[in-house]
Amino acid sequence: MEDNARLALLKKAIQFNTANGNEAPLAQWLQQVLAEHGIQSELVEFAPHRAGLVAEIGTGQEPILAFAGHLDTVAPNAAGAWQTDPFAAAIHDGAIYGRGAVDMKGGLIATVIALIELHAAGLPKAGTIRLLLSGDEEGSGTGATALTQRGYLAGVKALVMAEASSQTIEYAHCGSFDYIVHARGKAVHSSTPVLGHNALMDLVDFIKAEQTAFEDVANSPILGALVHSITVLHGGEQLNTIPDAAFLKGNVRTIPECDNQATQARLQAIIERLNQGGAALELEVVGDFAPVVTDPANPFITQVQAAVKEINQVDAPVVISKGATDASMYVKGNPDFAFVEYGPGDDTQSHQVNEHLNLAEFLAAPAVYQQIAHNFFAALDKE
Protein backbone atom coordinates (compact mmCIF):
# COMPACT_ATOMS: atom_id res chain seq x y z
CA MET A 1 0.00 0.00 0.00
CA GLU A 2 1.38 3.41 -0.95
CA ASP A 3 2.12 5.94 1.79
CA ASN A 4 -0.58 8.29 0.51
CA ALA A 5 -3.17 5.54 0.87
CA ARG A 6 -1.94 4.76 4.37
CA LEU A 7 -2.20 8.42 5.38
CA ALA A 8 -5.68 8.66 3.89
CA LEU A 9 -6.84 5.79 6.12
CA LEU A 10 -5.33 7.41 9.20
CA LYS A 11 -6.85 10.82 8.42
CA LYS A 12 -10.28 9.27 7.94
CA ALA A 13 -10.04 7.33 11.20
CA ILE A 14 -9.14 10.46 13.20
CA GLN A 15 -12.05 12.34 11.60
CA PHE A 16 -14.48 9.91 13.24
CA ASN A 17 -15.38 11.41 16.61
CA THR A 18 -15.28 8.37 18.87
CA ALA A 19 -14.79 10.30 22.09
CA ASN A 20 -16.80 8.84 24.95
CA GLY A 21 -18.50 6.25 22.78
CA ASN A 22 -20.02 6.08 19.31
CA GLU A 23 -17.38 3.67 18.01
CA ALA A 24 -19.85 1.84 15.76
CA PRO A 25 -19.48 4.12 12.69
CA LEU A 26 -15.69 3.75 12.76
CA ALA A 27 -15.96 -0.02 13.23
CA GLN A 28 -18.39 -0.24 10.31
CA TRP A 29 -16.09 1.79 8.07
CA LEU A 30 -13.10 -0.40 8.95
CA GLN A 31 -15.19 -3.47 8.22
CA GLN A 32 -15.83 -2.03 4.76
CA VAL A 33 -12.11 -1.24 4.26
CA LEU A 34 -11.15 -4.81 5.16
CA ALA A 35 -13.86 -6.24 2.91
CA GLU A 36 -12.51 -4.23 -0.02
CA HIS A 37 -9.27 -6.15 0.47
CA GLY A 38 -10.94 -9.53 0.75
CA ILE A 39 -10.91 -9.81 4.55
CA GLN A 40 -14.11 -10.71 6.33
CA SER A 41 -14.75 -9.36 9.82
CA GLU A 42 -17.40 -9.34 12.52
CA LEU A 43 -18.90 -6.37 14.32
CA VAL A 44 -19.29 -6.98 18.04
CA GLU A 45 -21.92 -4.62 19.44
CA PHE A 46 -21.83 -4.13 23.19
CA ALA A 47 -24.07 -1.05 23.68
CA PRO A 48 -26.15 1.30 21.52
CA HIS A 49 -23.86 2.99 18.94
CA ARG A 50 -20.90 1.08 20.38
CA ALA A 51 -19.10 -1.81 18.71
CA GLY A 52 -15.78 -3.56 18.32
CA LEU A 53 -14.44 -5.43 15.31
CA VAL A 54 -12.73 -8.81 14.89
CA ALA A 55 -11.00 -10.02 11.73
CA GLU A 56 -8.79 -12.99 10.85
CA ILE A 57 -6.42 -14.00 8.10
CA GLY A 58 -4.63 -17.30 7.62
CA THR A 59 -5.86 -20.85 8.12
CA GLY A 60 -8.22 -20.27 11.02
CA GLN A 61 -6.18 -22.75 13.04
CA GLU A 62 -3.73 -22.38 15.87
CA PRO A 63 -1.21 -20.97 16.57
CA ILE A 64 -2.88 -17.58 16.75
CA LEU A 65 -1.05 -14.25 16.85
CA ALA A 66 -3.29 -11.33 17.84
CA PHE A 67 -2.92 -7.62 17.19
CA ALA A 68 -5.14 -5.42 19.35
CA GLY A 69 -6.25 -1.82 19.67
CA HIS A 70 -9.19 0.35 20.67
CA LEU A 71 -11.48 2.56 18.61
CA ASP A 72 -12.50 5.08 21.26
CA THR A 73 -10.70 8.20 22.45
CA VAL A 74 -11.03 10.61 25.31
CA ALA A 75 -12.81 13.91 24.70
CA PRO A 76 -10.84 16.78 23.11
CA ASN A 77 -11.22 18.90 26.25
CA ALA A 78 -10.34 22.59 25.92
CA ALA A 79 -11.17 22.37 22.22
CA GLY A 80 -10.63 26.12 21.84
CA ALA A 81 -6.99 25.66 22.89
CA TRP A 82 -6.22 23.39 19.93
CA GLN A 83 -4.22 24.89 17.09
CA THR A 84 -6.46 22.97 14.66
CA ASP A 85 -9.85 21.30 14.79
CA PRO A 86 -9.21 18.15 16.90
CA PHE A 87 -11.07 16.06 14.32
CA ALA A 88 -9.64 17.64 11.17
CA ALA A 89 -6.53 15.40 11.10
CA ALA A 90 -4.37 18.31 9.92
CA ILE A 91 -0.79 17.59 8.89
CA HIS A 92 2.02 20.00 9.84
CA ASP A 93 5.81 19.60 9.97
CA GLY A 94 5.82 15.83 9.59
CA ALA A 95 3.08 15.12 12.13
CA ILE A 96 -0.68 14.55 12.04
CA TYR A 97 -2.76 16.38 14.64
CA GLY A 98 -6.02 15.27 16.16
CA ARG A 99 -7.72 13.65 19.09
CA GLY A 100 -6.73 10.00 19.06
CA ALA A 101 -3.79 10.42 16.66
CA VAL A 102 -1.50 8.85 19.27
CA ASP A 103 -4.05 7.19 21.55
CA MET A 104 -4.51 5.20 19.52
CA LYS A 105 -5.70 5.51 15.95
CA GLY A 106 -2.14 5.52 14.65
CA GLY A 107 -1.46 2.07 16.06
CA LEU A 108 -4.94 0.87 15.21
CA ILE A 109 -4.70 1.81 11.52
CA ALA A 110 -1.14 0.45 11.35
CA THR A 111 -2.44 -2.98 12.42
CA VAL A 112 -5.24 -2.79 9.85
CA ILE A 113 -2.72 -1.97 7.12
CA ALA A 114 -0.44 -4.79 8.26
CA LEU A 115 -3.33 -7.24 8.10
CA ILE A 116 -4.26 -6.09 4.59
CA GLU A 117 -0.69 -6.37 3.31
CA LEU A 118 -0.08 -9.77 4.90
CA HIS A 119 -3.31 -11.08 3.40
CA ALA A 120 -2.36 -9.73 -0.03
CA ALA A 121 0.91 -11.68 0.25
CA GLY A 122 -0.97 -14.87 1.10
CA LEU A 123 0.30 -14.93 4.68
CA PRO A 124 0.37 -16.59 7.07
CA LYS A 125 0.72 -19.96 5.38
CA ALA A 126 0.08 -21.79 8.64
CA GLY A 127 -1.72 -20.48 11.70
CA THR A 128 -3.85 -17.39 12.10
CA ILE A 129 -3.51 -13.65 12.69
CA ARG A 130 -6.45 -12.20 14.57
CA LEU A 131 -7.25 -8.48 14.80
CA LEU A 132 -9.08 -7.40 17.97
CA LEU A 133 -10.46 -3.86 17.96
CA SER A 134 -12.40 -2.86 21.05
CA GLY A 135 -14.41 0.08 22.33
CA ASP A 136 -14.64 1.70 25.76
CA GLU A 137 -10.97 1.20 26.58
CA GLU A 138 -10.93 4.77 27.87
CA GLY A 139 -13.85 3.85 30.14
CA SER A 140 -14.41 0.60 31.96
CA GLY A 141 -13.27 -1.81 29.26
CA THR A 142 -16.70 -3.14 28.34
CA GLY A 143 -15.70 -3.54 24.69
CA ALA A 144 -12.74 -5.78 25.48
CA THR A 145 -14.89 -7.64 27.99
CA ALA A 146 -17.42 -8.35 25.23
CA LEU A 147 -14.68 -9.73 22.97
CA THR A 148 -13.39 -11.88 25.81
CA GLN A 149 -16.82 -13.22 26.68
CA ARG A 150 -17.35 -14.23 23.06
CA GLY A 151 -14.23 -16.38 23.18
CA TYR A 152 -11.97 -14.39 20.85
CA LEU A 153 -8.95 -14.90 23.12
CA ALA A 154 -9.19 -18.66 22.93
CA GLY A 155 -6.10 -20.14 21.31
CA VAL A 156 -4.15 -16.87 21.24
CA LYS A 157 -0.47 -17.63 21.87
CA ALA A 158 0.86 -14.07 21.67
CA LEU A 159 -0.71 -10.61 21.55
CA VAL A 160 0.65 -7.25 20.44
CA MET A 161 -1.16 -4.24 21.90
CA ALA A 162 -0.62 -1.43 19.39
CA GLU A 163 -0.80 1.40 21.93
CA ALA A 164 1.78 4.16 21.53
CA SER A 165 4.90 3.04 23.38
CA SER A 166 7.39 5.87 22.83
CA GLN A 167 9.74 3.63 20.82
CA THR A 168 10.00 1.08 23.61
CA ILE A 169 8.67 -2.47 23.94
CA GLU A 170 6.54 -2.97 27.03
CA TYR A 171 6.08 -6.52 28.26
CA ALA A 172 4.16 -5.98 31.49
CA HIS A 173 1.86 -3.42 33.05
CA CYS A 174 0.09 -2.83 36.32
CA GLY A 175 -3.60 -3.35 36.74
CA SER A 176 -5.98 -0.56 37.60
CA PHE A 177 -8.68 -0.87 40.24
CA ASP A 178 -11.05 2.13 40.29
CA TYR A 179 -13.57 2.53 43.07
CA ILE A 180 -16.04 4.87 44.76
CA VAL A 181 -16.87 4.85 48.46
CA HIS A 182 -20.32 6.24 49.21
CA ALA A 183 -21.09 7.58 52.69
CA ARG A 184 -24.53 8.15 54.16
CA GLY A 185 -25.15 10.45 57.12
CA LYS A 186 -27.90 12.58 58.66
CA ALA A 187 -28.28 16.27 57.84
CA VAL A 188 -28.78 18.77 60.68
CA HIS A 189 -27.94 22.39 61.34
CA SER A 190 -24.21 22.90 61.84
CA SER A 191 -24.89 24.49 65.24
CA THR A 192 -26.07 21.10 66.56
CA PRO A 193 -23.82 18.52 64.85
CA VAL A 194 -24.36 15.96 67.64
CA LEU A 195 -27.96 15.54 66.42
CA GLY A 196 -26.81 14.42 62.97
CA HIS A 197 -24.17 12.25 61.33
CA ASN A 198 -21.46 13.80 59.20
CA ALA A 199 -20.95 11.66 56.09
CA LEU A 200 -17.68 13.46 55.32
CA MET A 201 -16.10 12.40 58.59
CA ASP A 202 -16.75 8.73 57.80
CA LEU A 203 -14.79 9.22 54.57
CA VAL A 204 -11.98 10.87 56.54
CA ASP A 205 -11.77 7.73 58.65
CA PHE A 206 -11.67 5.61 55.50
CA ILE A 207 -8.88 7.75 54.03
CA LYS A 208 -6.80 7.34 57.19
CA ALA A 209 -7.24 3.58 57.10
CA GLU A 210 -6.57 3.35 53.35
CA GLN A 211 -3.20 5.05 53.78
CA THR A 212 -1.82 1.97 55.55
CA ALA A 213 -3.98 -0.75 53.99
CA PHE A 214 -1.26 -1.93 51.59
CA GLU A 215 1.87 -1.47 53.71
CA ASP A 216 2.56 -5.20 53.93
CA VAL A 217 2.27 -5.87 50.17
CA ALA A 218 5.56 -7.09 48.76
CA ASN A 219 6.92 -5.36 45.68
CA SER A 220 6.57 -7.15 42.38
CA PRO A 221 10.00 -8.17 41.04
CA ILE A 222 8.85 -6.90 37.63
CA LEU A 223 6.28 -4.13 38.23
CA GLY A 224 7.61 -2.76 41.50
CA ALA A 225 5.39 -1.34 44.22
CA LEU A 226 1.62 -1.23 44.29
CA VAL A 227 0.48 2.40 43.97
CA HIS A 228 -2.73 3.67 45.56
CA SER A 229 -4.33 7.11 45.62
CA ILE A 230 -7.49 8.89 46.73
CA THR A 231 -8.27 11.20 43.83
CA VAL A 232 -11.71 12.76 44.43
CA LEU A 233 -13.53 13.81 47.61
CA HIS A 234 -16.97 15.39 47.52
CA GLY A 235 -19.63 16.09 50.12
CA GLY A 236 -21.94 18.74 51.39
CA GLU A 237 -23.83 21.50 49.63
CA GLN A 238 -24.53 24.07 52.34
CA LEU A 239 -21.98 25.77 54.57
CA ASN A 240 -24.13 25.56 57.70
CA THR A 241 -25.56 22.07 57.18
CA ILE A 242 -23.98 18.79 58.26
CA PRO A 243 -23.74 16.72 55.05
CA ASP A 244 -25.91 13.62 54.82
CA ALA A 245 -24.12 12.24 51.76
CA ALA A 246 -20.58 12.23 50.47
CA PHE A 247 -18.33 10.15 48.28
CA LEU A 248 -14.70 9.67 47.37
CA LYS A 249 -12.98 8.08 44.42
CA GLY A 250 -9.75 6.13 44.46
CA ASN A 251 -7.41 4.22 42.19
CA VAL A 252 -5.02 1.36 42.89
CA ARG A 253 -2.34 0.33 40.38
CA THR A 254 -2.37 -3.35 41.20
CA ILE A 255 0.38 -5.97 40.90
CA PRO A 256 0.23 -9.77 40.92
CA GLU A 257 1.30 -9.80 44.59
CA CYS A 258 -1.92 -7.95 45.44
CA ASP A 259 -4.23 -8.32 42.46
CA ASN A 260 -7.60 -6.69 41.92
CA GLN A 261 -9.53 -9.30 43.90
CA ALA A 262 -7.19 -8.99 46.87
CA THR A 263 -7.31 -5.20 46.61
CA GLN A 264 -11.10 -5.18 46.72
CA ALA A 265 -11.07 -7.49 49.74
CA ARG A 266 -8.74 -5.15 51.64
CA LEU A 267 -10.88 -2.09 50.92
CA GLN A 268 -14.06 -3.95 51.81
CA ALA A 269 -12.52 -5.03 55.12
CA ILE A 270 -11.90 -1.37 56.01
CA ILE A 271 -15.50 -0.51 55.21
CA GLU A 272 -16.90 -3.38 57.25
CA ARG A 273 -14.79 -2.41 60.26
CA LEU A 274 -15.85 1.24 60.06
CA ASN A 275 -19.49 0.31 59.56
CA GLN A 276 -19.35 -1.79 62.72
CA GLY A 277 -18.29 1.40 64.50
CA GLY A 278 -21.31 3.35 63.24
CA ALA A 279 -20.35 4.49 59.75
CA ALA A 280 -22.55 3.85 56.71
CA LEU A 281 -20.14 3.23 53.87
CA GLU A 282 -20.53 1.28 50.64
CA LEU A 283 -17.89 0.25 48.10
CA GLU A 284 -18.64 0.53 44.37
CA VAL A 285 -16.18 -0.90 41.84
CA VAL A 286 -16.13 1.15 38.62
CA GLY A 287 -12.97 -0.12 36.90
CA ASP A 288 -11.34 -3.53 37.12
CA PHE A 289 -8.23 -3.90 34.91
CA ALA A 290 -6.00 -6.82 35.88
CA PRO A 291 -2.18 -6.65 35.89
CA VAL A 292 -0.54 -8.27 32.87
CA VAL A 293 2.96 -9.75 33.07
CA THR A 294 4.95 -11.69 30.48
CA ASP A 295 7.99 -13.65 31.61
CA PRO A 296 11.00 -11.52 30.58
CA ALA A 297 12.59 -14.67 29.16
CA ASN A 298 9.64 -15.36 26.84
CA PRO A 299 11.00 -15.70 23.27
CA PHE A 300 8.20 -13.53 21.90
CA ILE A 301 9.85 -10.48 23.45
CA THR A 302 13.05 -11.28 21.56
CA GLN A 303 11.05 -11.76 18.36
CA VAL A 304 9.51 -8.30 18.71
CA GLN A 305 12.91 -6.75 19.50
CA ALA A 306 14.34 -8.34 16.38
CA ALA A 307 11.44 -7.05 14.26
CA VAL A 308 11.90 -3.47 15.46
CA LYS A 309 15.64 -3.72 14.84
CA GLU A 310 15.08 -5.12 11.33
CA ILE A 311 12.70 -2.35 10.25
CA ASN A 312 13.76 0.70 12.28
CA GLN A 313 17.45 -0.09 12.73
CA VAL A 314 17.28 0.71 16.44
CA ASP A 315 17.48 -1.32 19.63
CA ALA A 316 14.16 -0.64 21.35
CA PRO A 317 14.41 -0.73 25.16
CA VAL A 318 12.32 -3.41 26.86
CA VAL A 319 10.41 -1.85 29.76
CA ILE A 320 7.32 -2.11 31.95
CA SER A 321 4.38 0.29 32.22
CA LYS A 322 2.25 1.49 35.11
CA GLY A 323 -0.72 2.12 32.79
CA ALA A 324 -3.34 -0.54 32.01
CA THR A 325 -4.60 -1.66 28.59
CA ASP A 326 -7.34 -3.89 27.19
CA ALA A 327 -4.97 -6.80 27.78
CA SER A 328 -6.20 -6.56 31.38
CA MET A 329 -9.56 -7.83 30.17
CA TYR A 330 -8.12 -10.29 27.67
CA VAL A 331 -6.09 -12.20 30.29
CA LYS A 332 -9.37 -13.05 32.00
CA GLY A 333 -10.25 -15.11 28.94
CA ASN A 334 -6.75 -16.48 28.39
CA PRO A 335 -4.08 -15.98 31.06
CA ASP A 336 -1.37 -17.74 29.07
CA PHE A 337 -0.64 -15.56 26.03
CA ALA A 338 2.65 -13.66 25.73
CA PHE A 339 2.01 -9.92 25.74
CA VAL A 340 3.90 -6.93 24.42
CA GLU A 341 2.82 -3.34 23.90
CA TYR A 342 4.36 -1.65 20.89
CA GLY A 343 2.95 1.12 18.75
CA PRO A 344 3.78 4.37 16.96
CA GLY A 345 3.77 7.62 18.83
CA ASP A 346 5.03 9.37 21.94
CA ASP A 347 2.76 8.20 24.74
CA THR A 348 3.15 11.51 26.57
CA GLN A 349 1.00 13.01 23.80
CA SER A 350 -1.96 10.86 24.88
CA HIS A 351 -4.95 12.91 26.09
CA GLN A 352 -3.09 16.17 25.45
CA VAL A 353 -4.26 19.33 23.70
CA ASN A 354 -2.74 19.36 20.18
CA GLU A 355 -2.14 15.60 20.32
CA HIS A 356 0.02 14.67 17.34
CA LEU A 357 1.73 11.66 15.82
CA ASN A 358 5.03 11.57 13.95
CA LEU A 359 4.20 10.39 10.43
CA ALA A 360 7.50 8.56 9.92
CA GLU A 361 6.78 6.42 12.98
CA PHE A 362 3.28 5.67 11.75
CA LEU A 363 4.40 4.76 8.24
CA ALA A 364 7.04 2.35 9.59
CA ALA A 365 4.70 0.60 12.01
CA PRO A 366 2.87 -1.71 9.55
CA ALA A 367 6.20 -3.16 8.41
CA VAL A 368 7.21 -3.76 12.03
CA TYR A 369 3.95 -5.62 12.69
CA GLN A 370 4.45 -7.73 9.58
CA GLN A 371 7.98 -8.55 10.65
CA ILE A 372 6.70 -9.52 14.11
CA ALA A 373 4.29 -11.93 12.42
CA HIS A 374 7.09 -13.35 10.28
CA ASN A 375 9.34 -13.87 13.32
CA PHE A 376 6.51 -15.41 15.36
CA PHE A 377 5.56 -18.04 12.79
CA ALA A 378 9.15 -18.71 11.74
CA ALA A 379 10.10 -19.48 15.35
CA LEU A 380 7.19 -21.91 15.67
CA ASP A 381 8.27 -23.67 12.51
CA LYS A 382 11.64 -24.38 14.15
CA GLU A 383 10.13 -25.88 17.30
Q: For residues 361 and 344, is the Cβ–Cβ distance under 8 A?
A: yes
Check residue 99 and report its DSSP letter: T
Please, which residues bridge with residue 340 across strands? 160
At 251-269, the pLDDT tens digits run 999 999 999 999 999 999 9
Report the chain's mean pLDDT, rounded to a whole number: 96
Domain ranges in the chain are 3-173+291-382, 176-289
Q: Poorest-confidence range of 75-89, 150-164, 196-210? A: 75-89
Catalytic annotation present for 137? yes
Q: Give 142-177 as a DSSP string.
A: HHHHHHHHTTTTTTEEEEEE-S--TT-EEEEE--EE
pTM metric for this prediction: 0.92
pLDDT confidence of residue 85: 95
**Domain 3-173+291-382, CATH:** 3.40.630.10
Strands 292-293 and 156-161: unpaired
CATH of 176-289, one of 1.10.1240.10, 2.40.240.10, 1.10.12.10, 3.30.70.360: 3.30.70.360
Under the banding of pLDDT at 50, 70 and 90, the label for residue 79 is: low
Q: What is each CA distance from 89 to 2, 99, 205, 279, in whole angstroms?
A: 19, 8, 48, 52
23, 56, 72, 210: the active-site residue: 72
Angle of CA points 66, 52, 48, to nearest 5°? 165
pLDDT tens string 134-166: 999 998 899 999 999 999 999 999 999 999 999
- Among residues 23, 103, 136, 137, which one is catalytic? 137
Residue 80's pLDDT band, with cuts at 50, 70 and 90, is confident
| Mean pLDDT calculated for residue range 240-256 | 97
Contact predicate 135/23, CB 8 Å: yes
When pLDDT is averaged across residues 180-192 and rounded to a whole number, the result is: 97
Q: How far is CA 270 from CA 57, 176, 190, 258, 266, in A?
A: 50, 19, 28, 16, 7
224-237 pLDDT tens trace: 999 999 999 999 99
Q: 112 to each of 33, 278, 316, 326, 379, how far by Cα in Å?
A: 9, 56, 23, 18, 23
**Is 72 labeled as catalytic in the residue annotation?**
yes
